[in-house]
Amino acid sequence: MQRDLLELGLTKAEEQALQNRRTGIFIFQVSWILTFVCLAIVNWQMRFSSNWMPNPDDRLGVIIASIATGVLGASALLIRRSVMVVNNHHLSRFLRLWLMVIGLGVVFVGLIGYEWVIVPTGTQYAQVFRLMTGFHIFHAVCIGIYLGLVYVNGRKRVYNANDYLWAVEAGAKLWYFVLVAWLLFYVVIYWI
């Protein structure tokens, strides 16, 4: 099996540490995605227990959200590509791709932020919508800031190779998390 660049030349202790990090971030993702599942269930239960869902014509349309979803999906593909590139020692190409991911992330947050602002206020629908999208945007922004730090450190070349490669891998995994969480909300908010 081909090993990532990250896995080459590690001591036994470093290999153990890498394995721990990978398992740890996976468990964190599984755990924290359940907070999003919780909010999706909240949406679902509140709809059934009280009749506050507006008519389809009065709800937010799916166009902007669908564009945002496409943008986020594209950014996830790019981040996957950038991890492959950095593993092939193409740092400058990696940085370009990484910057594009951040840019697409900003576009995504801008589009959903726009929806957040224009949703008709004073209704339970708006309240639940703002809770869910706000919660997601909060995570996207935090993880986006982390991606920005990875970019800045890449430009400054302040990391040694192993630490930096791990930071890239972790950033990518966290961005996938943003995508999966959004897909869940996108379906629940706009399609069900």
Where on the chain is the footprint of another protein (CB under 8 A)? 16, 19-20, 23-24, 27-28, 30-35, 37-39, 41-42, 45-46, 49-50, 52, 123-124, 127-128, 131, 135
Q: Are 90 and 108 in contact (CB under 8 A)?
A: no
Residues near 120 by Cβ (< 8 Å), separated by ≥ 6?
58, 126
From the CB of 175, what's the least distance to another protein, in Å?
A: 19
From the CB of 27, what's the least distance to another protein, in Å?
A: 5
> Residue 113 is encoded by which pair of tokens?
């932020």
Q: Which is nearer to another protein, 47 or 93 (CB)?
A: 47
CB half-sphere exposure, 64, CA atoms < 13 A: 17
From the CB of 30, what's the least distance to another protein, in Å?
A: 7
DSSP state of 51: -
Taking the C-alpha atoms of residue 141 and residue 136, their distance in angstroms, rounded to an integer, is 9
Q: Which is nearer to another protein, 135 or 159 (CB)?
A: 135
From the CB of 182, what's the least distance to another protein, in Å?
A: 17
